[in-house]
């Protein structure tokens, strides 16, 4: 058991230092899982996690690190870790709208499109409504988030806010706060909308990590907790299904890249010449 633990720790340490410069990440997803990592304390601690979807459509687990209470400093350090390992700015970052996380993402990836996780956003809105009203409101909010286009989503969102802002002020203020950002995914290829509008795939993978760790009331050391979580997530990630990026979708993505970074890639320049 000691030899297995030692080998796993070596694998984990090597993985966390692995060069990321060869990975062309289009979509980056960020989230946190809370685990009982230390003896002598009752509260659980956050473990920050990142995975990405590459230009070839493959999903890859990128980084894990202790994140305490998801503070700005924790996320900033986390993002600096992966950029120091060579990760270039992605086209889109999907994450919770935690203030510290948002600020760190804006600082490290200033040009990338930002997509709040719609699963988190929906919960934030519904928690400001009575339970019965929330059940009635949820389909209406989904019509906004799952609209046929970015412009249609804005139209439906503003109509919904105007209709209910007097009766359900807090909920509608929450929706209105970052409505345009919530609809960012609608600017992207339609085939990818379901994938990029939330960090739910990462949360489902966390479910496997929680299943493996819940039998342990508290880890003897933080290294032991991170090591087991890494083993669970890296194993689960091997069965992740990627997304299809055929030439037509790739071209849409490159046009968005030109919009975000104000310059087309050499491949797009050649494609435009051919067209």
Q: What is the 3-state secondary structure (H, E, C) of the chain?
A: CHHHHHHHHHHHHHHHCCCCCCCCEEEEEEEEEEECCCCCCCCCEEEEEEEEEECCCCEEEEEEEEEECCCHHHHHHHHHHHHHCCCCCCCEEEECCCHHHHHHHHHHCCCCEEEECHHHHHHHHHCCCCHHHHHHHHHHHHHHHCCCCHHHHHHHHHHHHHHHCCCCHHHHHHHHHCHHHHCHHHHCCHHHHHHHCCCHHHHHHHHHHHHHHCCCCCCCCHHHHHHHHHHHHHHHHCCCCCCCCCHHHHHHHHHHHHHHHCCCCHHHHHHHHHC
In this predicted model, what pLDDT tens digit does every residue of 66-89 receive, in sequence order? 887 778 999 999 999 999 999 999
- Residue for token pair 């055929």: 246
Distance from C-alpha of 170 to C-alpha of 155, rounded to nearest angstrom: 20
Percentage of the residues of the chain whose pLDDT score is greater than 90:
66
Out of 205-209, 221-225, 263-267, least confident range: 263-267
Overall average pLDDT of the 210-235 stretch: 72
Residue ranges of the domains in the chain? Answer: 1-114+198-244, 118-197, 247-275
In this predicted model, what pLDDT tens digit does every residue of 92-107 receive, in sequence order? 999 988 889 999 999 9
Distance from C-alpha of 157 to C-alpha of 143, rounded to nearest angstrom: 9
- Check residues 206 and 156 and name the one with the higher pLDDT: 156
- Phi, psi dihedrals of residue 171, rounded to the nearest 5°: -65, -40
Provide the pLDDT for residue 154. Answer: 98
Does residue 272 have a pLDDT over 50?
no
Q: How confident is the model at residue 213 (pLDDT cuts 50, 70, 90)?
A: low
- Phi, psi dihedrals of residue 50, rounded to the nearest 5°: -135, 135
Token digits of residue 192: 């990818």
Provide the pLDDT for residue 273. Answer: 42
Are 63 and 239 spatial neighbours (Cβ–Cβ below 8 Å)?
A: no
Measure Cα distances from 24 to 15, 53, 223 in Å: 18, 8, 30
Percentage of the residues of the chain whose pLDDT score is greater than 70:
85
Overall average pLDDT of the 25-50 stretch: 83
Q: How confident is the model at residue 252 (pLDDT cuts 50, 70, 90)?
A: very high
- What mean pLDDT, rounded, does the chain reach? 87
Provide the pLDDT for residue 139. Answer: 97
Q: How confident is the model at residue 215 (pLDDT cuts 50, 70, 90)?
A: low
Provide the pLDDT for residue 45. Answer: 80
The C-alpha angle 227, 231, 233, rounded to 5 degrees, equals 115
Q: How confident is the model at residue 269 (pLDDT cuts 50, 70, 90)?
A: very low
- Check residues 34 and 61 and name the one with the higher pLDDT: 61
Provide the pLDDT for residue 3. Answer: 80
pTM (2 d.p.): 0.88
Q: Which CATH code for domain 1-114+198-244?
A: 3.30.420.10
Overall average pLDDT of the 179-204 stretch: 90
Distance from C-alpha of 218 to C-alpha of 100, rounded to nearest angstrom: 27
Provide the pLDDT for residue 41. Answer: 66
Does residue 214 have a pLDDT over 70?
no
Provide the pLDDT for residue 271. Answer: 47
Distance from C-alpha of 129 to C-alpha of 79, rounded to nearest angstrom: 35
Residue 264 CB partners (closer than 8 Å, separation 6+): 254, 257, 258, 272
């Amino acid at each position: 058991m000691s030899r297995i633990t030692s080998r796993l720790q070596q694998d984990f340490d090597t993985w966390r230092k692995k060069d990321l410069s060869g990975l062309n990440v289009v979509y980056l997803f960020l989230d946190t899982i809370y685990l009982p990592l230390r003896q002598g304390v009752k509260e659980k601690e956050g473990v920050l996690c990142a995975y990405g979807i590459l230009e070839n459509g493959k999903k890859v687990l990128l980084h894990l690190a202790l994140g305490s209470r998801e503070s700005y400093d924790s996320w900033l350090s986390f993002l600096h870790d992966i950029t120091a390992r060579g990760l270039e700015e992605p086209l889109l970052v999907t994450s919770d709208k935690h203030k510290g996380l948002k600020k760190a993402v804006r600082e490290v990836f200033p040009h990338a499109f930002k997509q709040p996780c719609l699963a988190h956003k929906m919960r934030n809105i519904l928690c400001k409504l009575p339970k019965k009203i929330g059940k009635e409101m949820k389909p209406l909010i989904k019509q906004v988030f799952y609209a046929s286009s970015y412009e249609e989503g804005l139209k439906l969102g503003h109509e919904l806010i105007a209709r209910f802002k007097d009766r359900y002020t807090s909920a509608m203020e929450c929706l209105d706060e970052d409505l345009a950002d919530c609809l960012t995914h609608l600017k992207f290829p339609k085939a990818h909308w379901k994938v990029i509008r939330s960090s739910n795939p990462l949360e489902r993978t966390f479910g496997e990590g929680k299943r493996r760790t819940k039998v342990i009331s508290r880890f003897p050391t933080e290294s032991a907790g991170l090591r087991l979580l890494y083993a669970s997530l890296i194993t689960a990630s091997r069965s992740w299904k990627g997304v299809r990026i055929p030439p037509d979708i790739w071209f849409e993505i490159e046009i968005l890249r030109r919009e975000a970074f104000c310059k087309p890639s050499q491949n797009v320049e050649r494609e435009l010449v051919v067209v």
